Amino acid sequence: MTPRRPAGADAFPKNTVEPSGTRQPEEGALYAALDLGTNSCRMLIARPRGSQFQVIDSFSKPVQLGLGLEASGRLSRGSMARTVHALQVCRRKLDQHRVRNMRLVATEACRRARNSRDFLRSIRRETGLPVEIIDAEEEARLAVISCAPLVSQKTETLMVVDIGGGSTELVWIDLEDVEPKERPRAIMRLSEGFAKPQPGGARVVDWISVPLGVATLRDQFADVEDDQGRFALMSWYFEEMLADFAPYADGSPEEGFQIIGTSGTVTTVAASFLGLRRYDRTKVDGLEMSSAQIDKVIHSYLTLGPEGRRADPRIGRERHALIMSGVAILQTLMRVWPTDKLSVADRGLREGLLYAQMVRDGVLTPDGLNGVA
């Protein structure tokens, strides 16, 4: 069955009427969100538009901040230098667009490194940027709310998966008591916290931050030379880390179950399935894939081997070294919770940061959000 991209899966549905309670932003009022992860430094600059936002500029650069962290417990000089250089580019973009509203966050690598506080002071000194470390729950929460437009009105149980460079966040959400048309908006309201469910709202059954992402899982098995053997070990090892996640023993619900996957791994698998030699976000974001379709792509990666993956334009030069650890995580999740409806999300932490800032300032509301019928 060919996967389909549901209607209504755009970033934020357009409203012809400005929602009540929303003030018109100043002309040129921009917001920025920066995600400094274990592997990449990425930033979006956007302007609020009714119940959505318009991206004005973006930046993405692999910096490998977490390289060597597993062995030493510290961020290396080379990794920090690469990251500062990328952040200097970000600073120039922020100055160029005169951005005043921003949130710049660091995640797993900086949470774990013993010298992260010194590094943040160095960033402030050399770039002037106020980068802050967020905890795992906030990272998961921001990823969840960014995916709200992809939630089907038929979904009663939702799992959001964010496969990062240094960690993987899983959030299991009960939507059974929420009116179908209200389910995407109920997800947005989780920005206030997982531990504060509202009557008739979305309820977080459990969530977990597994300290393994595409970079850290790869590093765990870097000494294993056999490609297929290394893949099997990575998948097994990741599943061992799920034992404390409450829904692990229950498996997939029979009906009304949806998984939303947000990460470079998931979007790369989707692009490979579609045969895209040049990445096209409009074809990937919101695409639905089954467990069997994902398995087929992963099998093709294993058949290619390391050299074949390096040369495959669907994977890309920047991701070939990380793709097998990423799909080991993804395949594990699909094995534990098989589904015919994994929704691919080309969105995540940065979009969640933008949304949270704009709602806080009253320049954006989720009232026009309808989700997927």
**pLDDT by position in tens, the chain (length 373):** 444 444 444 433 333 223 333 444 455 589 999 999 999 999 999 999 877 889 999 999 999 999 988 889 999 999 999 999 999 999 999 999 999 999 999 999 999 999 999 999 999 999 999 999 999 999 999 999 999 889 999 999 999 999 999 999 999 999 999 999 989 888 988 887 888 777 788 999 999 999 999 999 998 999 999 999 999 999 999 999 998 898 887 777 778 899 999 989 999 999 999 999 888 999 999 999 999 999 999 999 999 999 999 998 888 777 888 999 999 999 999 999 988 889 999 999 999 999 889 888 888 765 555 444 3
In-domain check, residue 226:
yes
DSSP state of 192: G
Adjacent-strand bridge partners of 288: 343
In-domain check, residue 57:
no
**Strands 168-174, 257-262: pairing kind:** unpaired
In-domain check, residue 180:
yes
In-domain check, residue 32:
no
List the one residue out of 7, 1, 2, 367 whose CA is nearest residue 186.
Answer: 367
Strands of the 203-210 sheet, one edge to the other = 203-210, 168-174, 157-163, 257-262, 342-345, 288-289
List the one residue out of 139, 144, 173 whose CA is nearest residue 156.
Answer: 173
- Quick one: tokens of 103? 């949130």
Cα–Cα distance measured from residue 70 to residue 77, given in angstroms and rounded to the nearest whole number: 15
Q: What is the pLDDT of residue 127?
A: 97
Note whether 60 and 50 are within 8 A (CB): no
Residue 151 Cα distances to 158, 180, 279, 357, angstroms = 8, 10, 23, 21
Adjacent-strand bridge partners of 101: 31
Q: What is the pLDDT of residue 10?
A: 41
Residue 77 Cα distances to 68, 69, 210, 248, angstroms = 11, 11, 26, 39
The total domain count for the chain is 1
Place of tokens 């993405």: 60
**Strands 157-163, 257-262: pairing kind:** parallel
Here the contacts of 307-316 (C-beta below 8 Å, separation 24 or greater) are 312/272, 313/277, 313/278, 314/268, 314/271, 314/272, 314/275, 314/276, 314/277, 315/268, 315/272, 316/268, 316/279
**Strands 101-106, 31-36: pairing kind:** parallel
List the one residue out of 251, 257, 259, 272 whose CA is nearest residue 319.
Answer: 272
Domain that holds residue 291: 138-349
In-domain check, residue 128:
no
Angle at 369 between CA 99 and CA 270, to 5 degrees: 80
In-domain check, residue 107:
no
Note whether 115 and 74 are within 8 A (CB): yes
Residues 6+ apart with CB under 8 A from 295: 331, 334
State the first-to-last Cα distance of the chain, in angstroms, to the nearest integer. 20
* CATH code for the domain of 286: 3.30.420.150
In-domain check, residue 96:
no
- Quick one: tokens of 58? 């973006």
Residue 93 Cα distances to 57, 59, 60, 98, 351, angstroms = 8, 9, 12, 8, 18
Cα–Cα distance measured from residue 166 to residue 42, given in angstroms and rounded to the nearest whole number: 15
Cα–Cα distance measured from residue 61 to residue 36, given in angstroms and rounded to the nearest whole number: 10
pTM: 0.84
Q: How many CB atoms lie within 10 A of CB 367?
A: 16
Cα–Cα distance measured from residue 251 to residue 336, given in angstroms and rounded to the nearest whole number: 6
Cα–Cα distance measured from residue 187 to residue 151, given in angstroms and rounded to the nearest whole number: 8
- Quick one: tokens of 325? 């650890």
In-domain check, residue 91:
no
Note whether 363 and 48 are within 8 A (CB): yes
